[in-house]
Amino acid sequence: MASITADRKRLNAFLKGFKKTAHRDLRLTLVCAMTTGLAVIAQAFLVARILNGLIFHDLPFSAVLPEFALLSGVVVVRAVAAWATDLFSFSAAATVMRALRGHLVEQVERIGPVGMADLKTGETVTAIADGVRAIEPYYSRYIPATVMAGLLPLAIFLVVLPLDWISAIIFVVTAPLIPVFMILIGEGAEKLNQRQWGRLQRMSGHLLDAVQGLATLKAFNAVKRMTGEVARVADAYRRDTMAVLRVAFLSSLVLEFFATVSIALVAVLVGFRLMWGQMDYFQGLFILLLAPEFYLPLRAMGTAYHARMEAVGAAEGIVALQDVPELAEPGGAEALADPARIEVTFENVSLSFADERRALREVSFTVSAGEAVALVGPSGAGKSSLLNLLLGFVQPTDGRVLINGAALCDLDIKAWRGLVGYVAQRPRVFVGTLAANIAPGEAEPDRERMRAAIAQADLADVVARLPDGLDARIGEGGAGLSGGEAHRLALARAFYRNAPVIVLDEPTAHLDAESEARVQAAITRLLPGRTALMVAHRPATIAQASRVVRLEAGRLAVTAEGDDSARDDDSARDDVDEEVSS
């Protein structure tokens, strides 16, 4: 129970923590809510005065015309204030959502690609996309409703108390019943809501797995089984959703019942005293008009309370993302000296993960400026881990990565990545134009520089084939491009960036002989004059390197110098040939 309470406090603190990002709009919401409350009291007062004058004092309509005009103005003020309350509350919610999305993007960046790879994609996407949208009603509905529930009943009580202490006592006694029952019912509803969001995240994961693995499922005739699994999860989500709705309807019924009974109690007692002559008509009508307005904000808060519960359920997935270890290198503020020529040193680097996996163990070697080093070794030897360290995707557990003698942890990490051209084993192609994929992040890329990069990467035939050339749209995952074309597109990015450091992660993996030859030819044009570190399994890639570094079980095994140690270099290449043939 203590842990559940602590979790709830943490979720509430997380939601409230973003209020400061929209403090202006929330303050305006408070002002508009106070204006609405004053207008409600003024409206009831004027209606009671007008009817009392017309019915009991036989005043002509012209006598109450000024009050009627004032009533019209108050009605307009109330409507405008209510509209402004909604406007500023939704504006506050939009501001918070923008801040929350920015916070999540920064959190994902701090976690880094290595940390994100261990998370379930479907659940993560649901938390970031649907979770943020589900939090919006907390700021647009729940907070304004809470403000109104705190201000308007208090103002009405202070107005009614000097007029009729009996009605004021009824207000005081019955008003707490609504929030008390709202909280009691909400305890169960909150658990159901959190379970519902957990089901939604799991369902998203199942759907994503089914879509991404459709070819495999079809090949193994497993579509029916996966469809059944998705259907079972969806049905469980449906049942949880209906359970939440049942509780929501039950709570609304209870709140409406207590509010109606309370209003009826005030009306009965006012009616009897009017009949007995213990209260005049104006006083009784004024109190009767205020009674529904007294309970209305409390009932509205009861309805909005479910928005809060949904937000708490959605926040659980977002807060879980906060607990993921931040593996990416945050860097510092130091500028890199002589960025035109880069020397990279791995100094006693070790890398371990939270699950006690040891990826690297005291690895030390240097890649001189302008040198191309090939990393070879069996799968899991730590080759990709070295690339991740160099790119700042993960921080070393021990040791340092030095760039021109400066520790990577002290350098501006974004500026450093701007000096690196990266080609992954499976290049990521984004939905968008070909130009946007070659120069990601640039609103107005240099077309001449881009055409030169395309020629260097041997991608000109692809541009000529596409109907709109550089403005042709590429589908998700590189739809419309072959594997070799996607690799050459990634090389075009590196050529366009013209970075002094090149990082290649098995750039010819999964390619046929013809595609491999074209990619290797482009790499030959890319490497001269640049510092390069590349993971390699193919002999043709090894041949591009001036030195080979072999890793085994996370340790440095063999370092072979090109022309100076031809025998060791040949031995390393023979090892690679054996790996490829096996």
**Considering Cα of 432, then 438, then 439, then 444, what sign does the dihedral take?**
negative
- CA separation for the pair 333, 335 (Å, rounded): 6
DSSP 138: I
330-419+500-582 to CATH, choices 3.40.50.300, 1.20.1270.360, 3.30.365.10, 3.30.1950.10:
3.40.50.300
Q: How far is CA 386 from CA 296, 394, 558, in A?
A: 63, 9, 16
Confidence of residue 173 (pLDDT cuts 50, 70, 90): confident
Q: Tell me whether domains 2-322 and 330-419+500-582 share a fold.
A: no
Q: How far is CA 90 from CA 129, 148, 192, 313, 417, in A?
A: 18, 16, 27, 20, 38
Residue 572: Cβ within 10 Å count: 24
Reference 516, options 549, 543, 553; nearest CA is: 543
Q: Six-digit token pair at 285?
A: 């009508």
More confident of the two residues 444 and 345: 345
pLDDT in tens, 109-151: 888 888 877 777 766 777 777 778 778 888 888 888 888 888 8
List all residues 6 or more positions away from 265 whose beta carbon is below 8 Å from its beta carbon.
Answer: 170, 174
Give the least confident one: 238-252, 393-407, 526-540.
238-252
Residue 36: Cβ within 10 Å count: 24
428-498 to CATH, choices 3.40.50.10860, 3.40.50.300, 2.40.50.140, 3.40.630.10:
3.40.50.300
List all residues 6 or more positions away from 224 whose beta carbon is below 8 Å from its beta carbon.
Answer: none
The percent of residues in the chain predicted with pLDDT above 90, rounded, is 9
Torsion of CA 336, 338, 341, 344, to 10 degrees: -40
- 3-state DSSP call for residue 415? helix
For the chain, domain boundaries: 2-322, 330-419+500-582, 428-498
Q: Could you write out the DSSP letters of every residue in 143-156?
A: HHHHHHHHHHHHHH
pLDDT in tens, 52-98: 888 877 778 778 788 889 989 999 999 999 899 889 988 988 888 88
More confident of the two residues 288 and 355: 288
Q: Across the chain, what does the average pLDDT equal?
A: 80
pLDDT in tens, 7-45: 667 777 777 778 788 888 888 988 888 898 889 889 988
The percent of residues in the chain predicted with pLDDT above 70, rounded, is 86
More confident of the two residues 195 and 547: 547
Alpha helices (H) in 376-507, listed in sequence order = 383-391, 413-417, 434-438, 447-456, 460-465, 483-497
pLDDT in tens, 202-246: 676 667 667 767 777 777 777 777 777 777 877 777 777 777 677
Average pLDDT estimate for 440-447 = 80
Predicted local distance difference test score (pLDDT) of residue 9: 74
List all residues 6 or more positions away from 157 whose beta carbon is below 8 Å from its beta carbon.
Answer: 168, 171, 172, 294
Alpha helices (H) in 117-176, listed in sequence order = 121-128, 130-137, 143-160, 165-174
Considering the domain 2-322, what is its CATH architecture? Answer: Up-down Bundle (1.20)
Predicted local distance difference test score (pLDDT) of residue 212: 66
Give the least confident one: 154-168, 230-244, 415-429.
230-244
Predicted local distance difference test score (pLDDT) of residue 514: 84
